């Protein structure tokens, strides 16, 4: 009978005081190394897909072949590389579209390849304009959006709404806070998740937003932490209640939000300014920066809002909220969408019956 011996497992005895720091440091090296390896692998994959698409495009331009060549190419590649995935006719045509969308390989390697292939397919399907695609690429990479979140943000026309609130941040906040505060605003805010029932009272809207707080936070964007609703502020011998209170981690400031189910009125600014001053005195720590305010109203006259903000030294923004995007598509966004003719031609040309799962 063999006497099998195995090395003893290191015990969890008493370690020196410096051991936790060593463990954390090495674990951080391993984690960052894995992330770098994944990013490098994705860059290589995007570069390979771009090169394949470029070669198919070049041959198509030179020879004028039809879709049957791509179908045959798919079959032969899968026969030659039986263990490989991603060479279905559908995916090869995505590679061709990928190369056609990005003519400069350096742009692909430096910017586009920050996102995986599934995200690239979403961008190709939903957007035509390269500048709009690059904007969503930068946002998705910075905030770690999944493919589903990317689709949601494109469908909600985030590109056309971001940074659009009317504000006095440029004169009431120092740079770079003023720029960041403006970028984190939207106009309009889209609360499509609250349902289609008419909202006539602020409290009705507030309750629905808090019920759907996950989607609410997604609409507000990266960096916002929800503190509470109807936050009591005791001023003198009276109690006041802020509709919604957030904290923005990067700005290191509280953000007070007042919800209004009516058209914007100038006196909203004074009320919000009082709440902001109370939050600074009652809640903010000494090392935290002054509070920012945001009025979300059903409608607004932009000129009236701009004049009202001139009278305030507190950093305040004014924007509208909507439960559906009923306005016409902004011109710069509409130009980025494929036309009806292009969509119909694409659908007619693509073998959508091919359901092979492609890497994403």
pTM: 0.80
For residue 213, give both structure tokens: 């707080």
Whether 163 and 306 map to the same domain: the answer is yes
Task: Please check whether residue 347 lies inside any domain of the structure.
Answer: no
Angle among Cα 48, 53, 56 to the nearest 5 degrees reads 130
Residue 335: what pLDDT?
A: 47
- Computed over its alpha carbons, how large is the radius of gyration of the chain? 27
Distance CA 152, CA 218 (A): 10
Same domain, 94 and 131: no
Task: Tell me if 223 is assigned to some domain.
Answer: yes
| Residue that finishes a domain, picked among 128, 155, 182 | 155
Q: Give residue 35's pLDDT.
A: 77
Q: Are 167 and 290 part of one and the same domain? A: yes
> Do residues 120 and 191 both lie within one domain?
no
Q: What distance in Å separates the CA atoms of residue 244 and residue 153, rounded to the nearest whole number?
A: 23
Give me the residues paired with residue 279 across strands. Answer: none
Burial of 164 (0-12, 13-18, 19+ CB in 10 A): middle
> Residue 188's domain is classified under what CATH number?
3.40.1350.10
Tell me which of 114, 138, 173 is where a domain ends: 114
Do 103 and 230 sit in the same domain of this protein?
no
**Is-contact 325 299, C-beta < 8 A?**
no
Q: What pLDDT is recorded for position 345?
A: 52
User: CA–CA separation, 297 vs 189, rounded Å?
Assistant: 10
Task: State whether 104 and 120 are in the same domain.
Answer: no
pLDDT values of the chain reduced to their tens digit, one per residue, 360 residues: 555 565 555 556 688 888 888 888 888 888 888 877 888 999 999 999 999 999 999 988 878 776 688 999 999 999 999 988 899 999 999 999 999 999 999 999 999 999 999 999 999 999 999 999 999 999 999 999 999 999 999 999 999 999 999 999 999 999 999 999 999 999 999 999 988 778 889 999 999 999 999 999 999 998 999 999 999 999 999 999 999 999 999 999 999 999 999 999 999 999 999 999 999 999 999 999 999 999 999 999 999 999 999 999 999 999 999 998 765 444 444 444 444 445 445 444 443 333 344 554
Tokens of 299: 């409608």
Query: Is 45 contained in some domain?
Result: yes
Q: Is 92 within a domain?
A: yes
Distance CA 351, CA 92 (A): 11
**pLDDT at position 332:** 45
In a domain, 342, yes or no: no
Asked whether residue 224 is domain-assigned, the answer is: yes
pLDDT of the residue at 29: 85
- Residue 333 covered by a domain: no
Please indicate, yes or no, whether residues 229 and 163 belong to a single structural domain of this protein. yes
Whether residue 173 is found in the same domain as residue 223: yes
Please indicate, yes or no, whether residues 191 and 306 belong to a single structural domain of this protein: yes
Task: Indicate whether 127 belongs to any domain.
Answer: yes
The whole domain housing 70 covers 30-114
Residue 208 CB contacts under 8 Å (≥ 6 apart), including other chains: 191, 194, 195, 199
């Amino acid at each position: 009978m063999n006497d099998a011996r195995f090395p003893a497992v290191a015990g969890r005895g008493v370690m020196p005081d410096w051991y936790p720091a060593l463990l954390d440091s090495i674990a951080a090296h391993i984690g960052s190394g894995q992330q770098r390896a994944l990013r490098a692998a994705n860059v290589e994959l995007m570069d390979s897909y771009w090169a394949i698409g470029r070669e198919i495009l070049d041959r198509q331009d030179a020879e004028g072949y039809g879709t049957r060549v791509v179908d045959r190419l798919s079959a032969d590649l899968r026969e030659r590389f039986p263990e490989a995935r991603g060479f279905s006719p559908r995916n090869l045509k995505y590679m061709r579209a990928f190369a056609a969308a990005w003519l400069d390989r350096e742009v692909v390697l430096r910017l586009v390849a920050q996102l995986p292939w599934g995200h690239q397919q979403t961008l190709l399907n939903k957007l035509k304009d390269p500048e709009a695609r690059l904007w969503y690429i930068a946002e998705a990479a910075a905030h770690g959006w999944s493919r589903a979140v990317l689709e949601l943000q494109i469908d909600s026309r985030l590109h056309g709404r971001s940074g659009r609130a009317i504000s006095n941040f440029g004169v009431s906040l120092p740079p770079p806070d003023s720029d960041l505060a403006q970028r984190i605003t939207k106009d309009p805010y889209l609360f499509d998740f609250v349902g289609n029932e008419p909202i006539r009272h602020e409290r009705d809207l507030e309750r629905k937003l808090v019920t759907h707080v996950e989607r609410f936070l997604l609409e507000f964007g990266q960096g916002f932490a929800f503190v509470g609703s109807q936050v009591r502020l005791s001023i003198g011998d009276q109690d006041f209640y802020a509709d919604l209170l957030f904290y923005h981690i990067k700005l290191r400031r509280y953000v007070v939000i007042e919800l209004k189910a009516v058209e914007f009125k100038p006196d909203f600014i004074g009320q919000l300014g009082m709440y902001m001053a109370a939050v600074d005195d009652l809640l903010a720590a000494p090392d935290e920066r002054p509070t920012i305010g945001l009025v979300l109203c059903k409608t607004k006259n932009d000129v009236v809002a701009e004049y009202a903000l001139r009278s305030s030294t507190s950093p305040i923004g004014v924007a509208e909220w909507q439960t559906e995007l009923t306005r016409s598509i902004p011109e710069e966004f509409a130009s980025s969408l494929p036309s009806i003719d292009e969509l119909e031609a694409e659908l007619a040309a693509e073998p959508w019956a091919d359901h092979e799962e492609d890497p994403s």
